[in-house]
Structure 1
């Protein structure tokens, strides 16, 4: 059974008209009639019932049409995918990063990845950690950048370390600790600390609470929902914000004073994560870029 014969059969089955099917395939009616007759002989059963009034599919013909139509569609998709790979036609990689992170954690990698894969379209959005994981699982994202504690207990998600940072504290310039460049964790015991909310970032909330306890005290936590909310609360003097010490935070707002957190169990560990059964070929390419970046 040749592909051209299959195409002619599908045309006749859909139009139920040999003349129209012949025009669609740029052949004569006699040619298409011979192809159908040859196919029926090859298969050993009739595909159409013909009379002077109309053409109709036999039950066997209808079954064959439905299955061949599906197979042809699948073959077209397979060929299209292979063409994209062979010609490097633009693909898409959907990236997301957590609201309790600054964008630097992922923006450092994107230009390097794009230099190596300049025909890949990248989309980038920010979500709360809990929403980020949910949307990774439903396919809205291919890869997410998220704090490592948020990934515990998700067996369908795999990840690699992206980066690890010490803690940078941000506070109002009027804060009692604002003149210090380094602050041991124990010196924070009498001050409110801005942290990710338990609702939106349950993993990080529990991690932070445990780290404070290992540092020797029970913290006064002020829950916030985003990176920007923490900064606002710090500017207003409501609490001390915790950030990864990436070098970008201190460049952003002159209304804040910054200090390094010392003598602590706290750190920022960030992972790139993706769904185990996601078949997007650019995930591996992105992760290879991450590995090369980290090995520099």
Structure 2
């Protein structure tokens, strides 16, 4: 059994297609299929059920896949650890980020990290803070930039506080409240809102504030895309609350402080159990404590 065979099995399982798996592994399909068939003969059972249109894991394949992933990750970690011992950082770094991070210039930080450690393959995924914490715990994400309603803190992961910010109201320039110098939550009662998806930390910070103030609001538009939320506001279909450092200052929009509005804290977070060499190097660069 070879590591490359394991890579091919994982690729086919995730793509559910031999052609896409071969393209992902930069190999011709016939070679990939041959290596998997060779592995199946060595094992004595089929990993995949195949037809001309469909590929699925067999029961044996379902049992094989998690351990194949673990074996491949262990091999990659061994190479990364050995490289670190001789002063080189290699391997992978999976970074998670919320859509509205403002405490850190993420592209600039990733660029700086890449120049310092060019042999590390960096990937980036966007999501809500709760989902990113789960992915850190599962090992799918190495480090993540989170945003949570104050005074909540990340749970189940190590973290460093990056900063806090008040939320502000964003309205279309023609909105009746746009002429005000500032607002209170009560001023927004009865307005139609655009906000992040219910149940996410990005939404919770506003929900908690309005509930605490005893103000009811109508969230008609839900999206995990901050850009889409702003576009809806720009069309005067809704108003929204966004972090002040993220809220766009541009023609057609008005940004107003909310006296009794919510605030959120941003965090850099990572696994509190044995972060890899690339994660440790990234944390040192950004200022986290990998020993936490």
- Give the TM-score normalised by structure 1: 0.59
Which residue does the alignment assign to 1:49? none
Tell me if 1:236 matches 2:235.
yes
Aligned position for 1:123 = 123
CA drift of 1:272 comes to 1.8
Q: Is 2:83 the counterpart of 1:87? A: no
Structure 1 residues 156 and 82: CA distance shift in structure 2, 3 A: same
Task: Report Cα offsets for 1:197-236 as digits up to 9, x if no partner.
Answer: 225x1x4434422211333422333452221231122122
TM-score by length of 2: 0.59
Counterpart residue number, 1:269: 265
Cα distance in structure 2, aligned partners of 1:163 and 1:145: 11
> Measured at CA, do residues 165 and 279 of structure 1 come closer, stay the same or move farther in structure 2, by a change above 3 Å?
same
Counterpart CA distance in 2 for 1:188 and 1:219 is 8
Q: Distance in 2 between matches of 1:110 and 1:258?
A: 28
Q: How does 1:191-270 map to 2 (within 5 A)?
A: 191-199=191-199, 201=200, 203-226=201-224, 227-246=226-245, 248-251=246-249, 253-264=250-261, 266-270=262-266
Does the 8 A contact of 1:194 with 1:240 survive in 2? yes
> In structure 2, do the counterparts of structure 1 residues 75 and 191 end up closer, same or farther at CA, with 3 Å as the change threshold?
closer
User: Distance in 2 between the 1:168 and 1:151 partners?
Assistant: 18
Match for residue 185 of structure 2? 185
CA shift in 2, pair 1:94/1:77, >3 Å: closer
Q: What's the CA shift for 1:250? A: 2.4
Identify unmatched segments of 5+ residues in structure 1: 1-73
CA distance in 1, matches of 2:284, 2:80: 25
Question: Does the residue aligned with 1:217 lie in a helix, a strand or coil?
Answer: coil
**Does the 8 A contact of 1:143 with 1:274 survive in 2?**
yes
| CA distance in 1: counterparts of 2:133 and 2:150, whole angstroms | 9
Q: 1:224 to 1:75 in 2, by over 3 A?
A: closer
Q: Secondary structure at the match of 2:139?
A: coil
Matched residue, 1:26: none
Structure 1 contact 109–289 (Cα < 8 Å) conserved: no
Equivalences, count: 213
TM superposition shift of 1:268: 1.9
Higher Cα Rg: structure 1 or 2?
1
Structure 2: which 5+ residue stretches go unaligned?
1-73
Give, in whole Å, the separation in 2 of the partners of 1:95 and 1:169.
30
Tell me if the contact between 2:185 and 2:260 (Cα under 8 Å) persists in the aligned partners: yes
